[in-house]
Structure 1
């Protein structure tokens, strides 16, 4: 018993007592770490986070140029398919030209016929003038005949019946002259003030010829812009009507990003602020640089097919989003192509709040334009001039 007691006493004497200063240092270190983390986060929020807004509700947008025909016809050739690149002005669909060529020939014939009809009408003026002169001579002759017979009737040399016939001849000649003069006036009204080649009837026939000429050229449907073919619905042999969609062209060098920020994040977003974009297709390996070019005029729900009716029934507040358009650097876009509809993450630097919150005014120059649909009307005008000159020749 004494031996066990001695052993326990020895063991309790060898265990060191806890150091209160060490525990205090540990607690102070943990507290300092939390304080430093708080200060670091406060500094990060003040210097970085409070000056940036970020959203992953962003998608690549672009122009989808729908190609349609300006004339009706049957498709005989398709020169581009989906995913293929086409240049602006390249022929992509060909229509059967037979109907258009027949219509052009008919318009040419009508133009020549109208020119000849107008020549005949102008020549009719001289003819009517000659008739008027003839009626004047007839009236003068009748008046002279009456003047010779009237004195002889007093001497009973001629009968009163002959004098009456002479008077009636004068009246008839006057009436015939009046009719001829009115016919001449009507003919002159129809041709007065313009040359035969500039007569309204000739101009209308010229316009019909130009319309047929344009229809014949528009059997070749060309790409209005350069880009990649998508959504092709046209098939060989189909009979298409003007305005029917045939396919779409997506110019991948004209893309942007629509970032849908929450309404609570829009307070400090301004036009012109820089932004960085990461597309999910490349991840963090590629960073695009752009800037804010405008904010949407309303939320997505306001422009939906069935807008929300918040004034009826039960109501639950839903945070709304407004699309913010971000432009892209063309050089970066060319180096790393994107597609319409791809997801992206957008980070906008809002430290500079001097810009406007609304979009800028539209420029006088067109934002998008194409010249490949213009037709060389000078050639058509020269063709109509040749037709008119050919039918005006004596």
Structure 2
């Protein structure tokens, strides 16, 4: 009888322990469910956050075959370092052609200027002849008047009068011809001066062509635009790259931040300048310091490729997320082990 009572007492004790454990688990489950929907802490927290950084996509400005690759995968580079060389033979030929065209244009300009100098000299000589012919004409006119009076008085023969008359007409014709030559010289000089202006414009265009060819040649040397670490190498020597093709991606190391997506119901308590604890999952929860920098002007869904449309009638209310930019307070040297894309948990005090 005593053994039966002892067994019943032990069984009741075990059942009571099981009941207590079940109640504890039930209570813990209820508390966990309540914590999901209600936040009783005095902090704002989310694990929907990742590290971001500026990633510069290095593209080719010209098309050509890769002659040499100067960077290593995941290696460090500095702004201005050469990371890729393209075959530049074709571009050098174009530069040489542009230089030759410019030299020809300059030679044409020099010739045109010399032509103007010659034309001016010729015009001056013609104008001097014009003055001499004008004097001869004046003398011929005086002789004509004098011989006319003498012929009326029968002091000279008809033959002598005819000679004076012919001389007058000859001097008049010569003067008219020289005046025409002077006008022609002026017209030639004006045309040559216009040619000079045209050739000057041609030289400017040829200089622009040369600058463009030299610029295209410079594009065969692809340089790093920023300091950082190069990502995966996807190109090889001898490969043809096209214009605007990405040949490398550089992750800047001097500027990293966190994009945290908070629930819209949390946004009322988030303000710019608040202090933030940033726990990095990959580093065992190591905590870094940060501050709230900016708040997104719209929900993340509004910036997606396909914005949600609730006008169809099939509406289910879902709590939206608002992106918040959080900047690290720590020096960049302390953030080397933090990589863009890492998951973090942020807690705003």
Is the structural similarity TM-score above 0.5? Answer: yes
Distance 1:108 1:214, change over 3 A: same
Gaps of at least 5 residues in structure 2 are 1-37, 152-160
| Cross-structure match for 2:30 | none
Matches within 5 A, 1:113-262: 113-150=104-141, 151-152=143-144, 154=148, 155=151, 156-158=161-163, 163-188=168-193, 199-262=200-263
| Cross-structure match for 1:30 | none
How much does 1:84 deviate? Answer: 2.6
Distance 1:166 1:180 in 2: 21
**Which of the residues 61, 70, 73 maps onto 1:82?**
73
| Cross-structure match for 2:295 | 295
**Aligned Cα RMSD in Å?**
3.1
**Higher RCO by CA contacts (8 Å cutoff, separation 6 or greater):** 2
Judge which range, 294-303 or 130-139, deviates more.
Answer: 130-139
SS at match of 2:213: helix
**Which of the residues 76, 86, 102 maps onto 1:95?**
86
How much does 1:347 deviate? Answer: 0.5
Distance 1:332 1:172 in 2: 89
Distance 2:81 2:291 in 1: 33
Aligned residues: 300
C-alpha deviations, 1:184-239, integer Å up to 9, x for none? 234345658xxx9xx55444444443443343333221211222222544332233
Distance 2:233 2:173 in 1: 84
C-alpha deviations, 1:146-196, integer Å up to 9, x for none? 43444438453327666445434333322221121132234345658xxx9
Distance 2:60 2:190 in 1: 49
Does the 8 A contact of 2:255 with 2:332 survive in 1? no
| Cross-structure match for 1:280 | 281
Does the 8 A contact of 2:101 with 2:206 survive in 1? yes
Distance 1:316 1:165 in 2: 112
Distance 1:79 1:146 in 2: 86
Distance 2:304 2:196 in 1: 60
How much does 1:262 deviate? Answer: 1.0
C-alpha deviations, 1:310-348, integer Å up to 9, x for none? 234332222211110111244476366122222111111
Gaps of at least 5 residues in structure 1 are 1-44, 350-394
Distance 1:207 1:177, change over 3 A: same
Distance 1:211 1:120, change over 3 A: same
How much does 1:304 deviate? Answer: 1.4
TM-score of the superposition, structure 2-length normalised?
A: 0.75
| Cross-structure match for 2:102 | 111
Does the 8 A contact of 2:69 with 2:85 survive in 1? yes
| Cross-structure match for 1:31 | none
Distance 2:99 2:297 in 1: 53
| Cross-structure match for 1:60 | 51
Distance 2:241 2:347 in 1: 47
Distance 2:228 2:49 in 1: 23
| Cross-structure match for 1:324 | 324
Does the 8 A contact of 1:225 with 1:249 survive in 2? yes
C-alpha deviations, 1:53-81, integer Å up to 9, x for none? 11111111111101012333221112224
Does the 8 A contact of 1:274 with 1:348 survive in 2? yes
TM-score of the superposition, structure 1-length normalised?
A: 0.67
